[in-house]
Amino acid sequence: MDAPDLTTLDDHNYEQLAVAHAHPKHRDPDTWALLTSPQHIEQTRTALNNVHQRTAATLRRRKTEREAFEQECRARGEAGKQEWFTSRPEYERWRRGTAGFHQMIQAAISELGKLQRVHNHRATTQQGAQAAREALRQLSVAVQRHQAAHAKAGTIAQQEDYELWQLLDRLTVPCGPNQDPTTLRTMLDFYWTDVDVVDASEEARAATERSMRQAPAGRSAKYSGVPRAKHVGNEKDLAS
């Protein structure tokens, strides 16, 4: 059985479809999955709530009518009592059937409530993950720009700078259909930043950045030097 296109159903037909799938034994798996999908579960729950409310109202109304009928029969004496007892089995069969239907709809509504909470949790979790990933992207871009600024200026970076830049090569995020661990720098190179045409100066800066990353302990030999010092009290240059 192919699942119907729910968007083509009017309220009455949608309600009838939801009622037909309210009991687990009577469900077509594909149709039930569609009825309980994030796109339709609220409409399905509303439809069953409407049925539940109408059934409850019918039970109350018939109960009130039955009580009034009982009083009328008793007022007519023995003949009225006989009519009351004669009509009782038919009413009880109706009441039990309607009450069972009412409970079935209530169970389906409770099930939909649980499924909706699952959908909401997944949506919230996904939104949180997306927000965290976007924050990590922005932070990675900032670190990359910080490294590029040092490379372009040719200034001597501190050890803390190198340790910060190396995080782009050590930290990973899941990426792709298989959620493979991918370094932040790879994400920056292929997914998180725009690709521009590289000129000679940009290539030189990129080479400097690679040298910074590959140096032992994060320090590039290009920026290593011997500090110049002097004896206290004289002009002798120890580094000369």
pLDDT in tens, the chain (240 residues): 567 889 899 999 999 999 999 999 999 999 999 999 999 999 999 999 999 999 999 999 999 999 999 999 989 888 888 998 999 999 999 999 999 999 999 999 999 999 999 988 887 888 888 888 889 999 999 999 988 888 888 888 888 888 999 999 999 988 888 888 999 999 988 888 754 444 555 556 666 655 655 554 444 444 444 333 333 444 444 444
Cβ atoms 89, 75 nearer than 8 A: no
42 and 6 Cβ atoms separated by less than 8 Å = no
Burial of 127 (0-12, 13-18, 19+ CB in 10 A): exposed
14 burial (CB, 10 Å; 0-12 / 13-18 / 19+) is: buried
pLDDT for res 34: 94
| Single-letter residue type at 63 | K
Distance CA 41, CA 35 (A): 6
Place of tokens 């039930």: 32
| Nearest CA among 110, 128, 130, 97 for reference residue 48 | 110
Q: Give pLDDT, residue 207.
A: 62
pLDDT at 103: 96
Q: Which two tokens stand for residue 71?
A: 């009083």
Number of residues assigned to the chain: 240
For the purposes of burial, counting CB atoms within 10 Å of the CB of 90, is it exposed (0-12), middle (13-18) or buried (19 or more)? exposed
Which structure tokens are listed for 10? Answer: 């009017």
pLDDT value at residue 211: 60
Domain boundaries, the chain: 7-130, 156-223
Cα-based torsion angle of the residue sequence 92, 59, 96, 109 in order, rounded to the nearest 10 degrees: 180
